[in-house]
Amino acid sequence: MTLNCNVSANFSASESIELDPSLSERDARFDKLTNIASLVMKAPISLLTIIDDAGGQQLFKSAAGLTGELFQTRSTPLSHSFCKHVRDSGKPLVVRDSRKHPELKYNPAVAEFALIGYLGVPFRSERGDVVGAFCCIDHRPRDWDENDIEILTRLASIAADQLHLTSAEDGRVKAKRLAEQAAATRASFLSHANHEVRTPLSSIGGATRLLSMVVADEKARNLVGVIERNVSRLSALADDLVRIAELDDATASIAQESFNLSEVIGNIVDRHHDAAQTKGIDLTLTCDLKDDPLLLFDAQVLTQVVERLLSNAVKFTSLGEVRVAIASEHCKDGVTIRITDTGCGIEAEHLARLFDEFEAHNPRTARQGGGTGLGMSIVRRDVERMGGEISVSSQPGEGTDFIVFLPNGRGANSCEHLEDEQEGGSHLLTCLECGEEMGLLRRHLSQVHGLTPEAYRAKWKLASDFAVSSKGYRKMRQAVRNLM
């Protein structure tokens, strides 16, 4: 069967499709398909071609059976192309003997490459445009049947799907790279903006403090107080922007420090007692941890998390009380810090977006209490960086309940891990025992013992971003003693 194709009726040079540069690149992932086509069809040559009108070439995106110059160049001039007719017509081209074909017998490829039997089907781009052909070539006359056309059409469809997947993967990689560049640009901008904001704020703050010492008029002192409060709010905003930039740029570190949790939380509560008393609300702290155990967390980050939550609880509570409770979580081997208030509460539609960036929980209360909506996003990300979880429940007009769960670096109610470590002797090495103030044990292993991240992750079967609560991490801590 021979199909004639009227090129002038279906396609003209002025209608050339703009070729995506990535289409012209050879991709080894398509070679399996051309090899399969060559084997199944018992054809010496199988090609996946792209027609480049602008370059005047037929490009081989994949090829099986090519030798000599064609194998090296992986292209031919369009004057030698049969696949161009497939692209132009958008239909299969079936040629038993090109030497007798009315339109192809004068093609130079017939004599130069012994292109006699030919079967080609359209190959489509991601947009659905026919950009080339999937073809099989024989050096002798060949009777192609409907089954051959069906097989080649299906392989061309698989090749098109592979092309779409490759394009999607490339798009994902590109999007990730652009996102990383955007995050780095944002971090750089925020860092610069923070410097530019803090310099005048420091001057204003200093001048305000001097004014408060010399101004005697009550009205003037009130104005000075307004300036001081707004300087404080701007400084807090600058701190939030810097923290967001650190988290985005992965420069924010999580340290491991052994400290008394109830004592640290108690100090935070004490700092808010005056504000609570001024508003006429009760502020209480309860702790169910036994024997005041030393826990392994990042004290500074944990302090910032609790400080933000407690500050908001006091700020948005006008009547009633604010309760802070510390308790052991036996099932998950950790501790919970619970902050409950009887304040204005949070509506359901705002609660779902509470931990998103730039989402103030309620426009009205945000205007009353200040803030930009960054604080809760920072809280969530800091808790997660410590390997923990944060949850919230609230009812409008009834109050809000935050629960922060943190896994133990050492058990809150047992000395199991501490005893395991002490059994190893005084030469046990951790960032704490060796006296080096390093944020992470992994950093200690790298800088002190020369273990690369790949080496110690492989040795103790750790994920690329392991949690301090994981069994692998604990096993690593116990095994570090053997490095000396």
What pTM was computed for the model? Answer: 0.46
Q: In this structure, are residues 321 and 277 in contact, taking their beta carbons and an 8 Å threshold?
A: no
Q: Per-residue pLDDT for 360 more than 60? A: no
Q: Per-residue pLDDT for 47 more than 90? A: yes
340 Cβ contact list (under 8 Å, min separation 6): 313, 322, 323, 325, 399, 400, 401, 402
Greater confidence (140 vs 350) lies with 140
124, two tokens? 């489509």
Q: Per-residue pLDDT for 61 more than 70? A: yes
Q: Per-residue confidence at 449, pLDDT binned at 50, 70, 90? A: low
What's the rounded Cα separation, in Å, for the pair 355 and 361?
Answer: 9
What's the rounded Cα separation, in Å, for the pair 236 and 370?
Answer: 10
Domains of the chain, start order: 7-144 (3.30.450.40), 177-248 (1.10.287), 257-407 (3.30.565.10), 416-483 (no CATH)
Q: Per-residue pLDDT for 44 more than 80? A: yes
Q: Per-residue pLDDT for 126 more than 90? A: no
What's the rounded Cα separation, in Å, for the pair 375 and 369?
Answer: 12
How do residues 460-473 score in pLDDT, each as one tens digit?
666 655 555 456 65
Q: What is the mean pLDDT of residues 187-200?
A: 75
DSSP sequence for 199-255: HHHHHHHHHHHHHHHH---HHHHHHHHHHHHHHHHHHHHHHHHHHHHHHHTT-----
Q: What is the structure's pLDDT at 128?
A: 85
Q: What is the structure's pLDDT at 333?
A: 73
DSSP state of 100: G
For helices 471-479 and 441-449, angle between their N-to-C axes, nearest 10 degrees: 40
Q: In this structure, are residues 206 and 199 in contact, taking their beta carbons and an 8 Å threshold?
A: no
Which alpha helices (H) appear in 338-430, and where do they start and end?
348-351, 363-369, 375-385, 416-422
Greater confidence (144 vs 173) lies with 144
Q: Per-residue confidence at 290, pLDDT binned at 50, 70, 90? A: confident
What's the rounded Cα separation, in Å, for the pair 233 and 245?
Answer: 19
206 Cβ contact list (under 8 Å, min separation 6): none
- Paired sense of beta strands 93-95 and 130-138, if any: unpaired
By mean pLDDT, which of 131-135, 148-152, 177-181 is the weakest?
A: 177-181
Q: Per-residue confidence at 481, pLDDT binned at 50, 70, 90? A: very low
Q: Per-residue confidence at 475, pLDDT binned at 50, 70, 90? A: low
CA distances from 303 to 30, 235, 246, 267, 314 (A): 56, 18, 17, 9, 16
Greater confidence (302 vs 408) lies with 302
By mean pLDDT, which of 121-125, 400-404, 473-477 is the weakest?
A: 473-477
Please state, for a pLDDT cut of 70, what percent of the chain lies above it: 69
How do residues 419-446 score in pLDDT, each as one tens digit?
343 333 333 333 333 333 334 455 556 6
CA distances from 178 to 172, 184, 386 (A): 10, 10, 28
Q: Which amino acid is at 137?
A: I
By mean pLDDT, which of 1-10, 44-53, 435-444 is the weakest?
A: 1-10
What's the rounded Cα separation, in Å, for the pair 468 and 387?
Answer: 7
User: What would you measure as the largest C-alpha separation in the chain, in angstroms?
Assistant: 110
Q: What is the structure's pLDDT at 436?
A: 36
Q: What is the structure's pLDDT at 464?
A: 55
Q: In this structure, are residues 137 and 47 in contact, taking their beta carbons and an 8 Å threshold?
A: yes
